[in-house]
Chain A
Amino acid sequence: MIDFRMPSLGADMEDGTLRAWRVKPGDTVKRGAIIADVETQKGIIEVECFDEGIVHALLVKEDDKVPVGTVLALLRGEGEEGRPAGPQAAPARSAVPPGLVGGLPMPAASGAAAPRVQASPLARRLALEQGIDLAGLSGSGPDGVITKKDVERAITARMAPPQAAKDKRHAFVEMISGAPAAPGDPAAGVRQAVAAAMAKSNREIPHYRLEERIDLRPCMGWLAETNRARPVKEQLLPVVLLIKATALALRKVPDLNAWWVNGGLQRKPEVHLGFVISLRTGGVMVPAIHHADRLTLDELMRHLGMLIPRARALKLRSSELAEGTATLTSLGDRGASVVHGLIYPPQVALVGFGGITEQPWAENGTIDARPVVTASLAADHRATDGATGSRFLRTMAELLQHPGEL
């Protein structure tokens, strides 16, 4: 049996509230499937599964708040399902399909009959198909027997909760911020989450900071030429070049693509680049762009097209919030010229880009005006030293001189 636990979606997360199950007992889940919606300070997160199997039982009820690490559901692995039942294994074909009774799993071993709730066979079948907990219903039939109608009512009630969910969300913001949530201020929870993560970063991480001016003339020229031939919908923004160059430089300087865990550096084999997205109402979200080093510029652009609106709607996935291996923040074309950022723990590096502006640039004894960006690096001095950071920034600057190869 595989435990599916409340994931940690960031260094600052202690618990989460299970808002909705997206699966029911008996469902087959694939790796990457979305299993549940969990509410955290960062909004409602779609939690993905990292195993394959069949949902055996859901252990936590909707709207329960539980600490990180709590087992939320049990999954049967493929092998467990197909094998003939051993003494302690769940039977391959249980006489009583697993289900929910008052939020607890039914005993599945030996296929013993579960505590019977008085219900019509039709109601029972419908409840099973729809994942409705019969024990939670009151019967309207003779002697309180649960009928098909009762189950249908429960299904309808489950499917129409948007208004209720909105109210709960409001209550949640009040709970975590310790103050009444102002109407129209959905980002208060995000503010608190940013506050907790950044306070921890500033308290625990000895940062060192480096910066490097980078000549973006080749990039801007290449972009103008590329975009001229494309319809607006397929045009690229400078930020995708910055993302790709950062991801490739991280691959070349792997000590910065890592976590600092239990007093040691844990290099990450993949580059999942956290990308800072500012919310209009204040606060930031930092979803990871998975395998940013392997995506083409077009793929990165399309990815941002989906990611940014989702982040602003506070609808991200658990893997996007939990798996960042380093972070990039770009202030954009109207931003200040340089950013001195704070690392998002347990990562060890934050790469920052100020706005791209025209500046005097000296080269080969002459000065001319070029589009220039100042890249900065904030890195954890427990993990690396200035020489490493310097190598990273120089590598990135070099990559940005050849945009056609990114």
Chain B
Amino acid sequence: MTDPQVIDALRAIIRQVAPDADTGTLAPDEDFRRAFDIDSFDHLRIMAAVSERFGSDVPEEQQGRLVTLRRLADWIIAAERERSP
């Protein structure tokens, strides 16, 4: 999966959790929790959806850091590379 594809998938995941979020305007380095008023409960739902969609469980200690599209995409691509070197 390429970087833009991952980012598109992430936008869809966020929209699923926060249906009124206009993720199209979200900049890759913007904190989406602040942008869409996403609380810790919804953030955990996003982490769960990411884990399911990309097949790697987001480790607990990483979750607090993964609050932008860029960081999430980087983490996902790195995790994919690790699984299939």
Contacts and interface: CB of A to CB of B under 8 A. Distances in A.
A235 B33 contact: no
Contacts of B41: 237, 239, 304, 308, 332
B44 A332 contact: no
Nearest to B46: A232
Interface in A232-272: 232-233, 235, 237-239
B37 A280 contact: yes
Interface size range on B against A: 20 to 34
B60 A235 contact: yes
B60 A334 contact: no
Interface in B28-59: 33-34, 36-37, 39-41, 44, 47-48, 51-52, 57-59
A239 B40 contact: yes
A334 B67 CA distance: 13
A228 B61 CA distance: 8
B60 A237 contact: no
A227 B60 contact: yes
Interface residues of A, number: 18
A333 B40 contact: yes
Nearest to A355: B40
A93 to B, nearest CB: 51
A238 B54 CA distance: 26
A348 B32 CA distance: 37
Given A231-B51, A232-B48, A281-B20, A332 B40 contact: yes
Interface of B: 18, 20, 33-34, 36-37, 39-41, 44, 47-48, 51-52, 57-61, 63
Given A280-B18, A334-B33, 14 more contacts: A227-B60, A228-B60, A228-B61, A231-B57, A232-B48, A232-B51, A233-B52, A235-B44, A237-B40, A280-B20, A280-B37, A308-B41, A332-B39, A332-B40
11 contacts: A224-B60, A227-B60, A232-B48, A232-B51, A232-B58, A237-B41, A239-B41, A280-B18, A280-B37, A332-B40, A334-B34
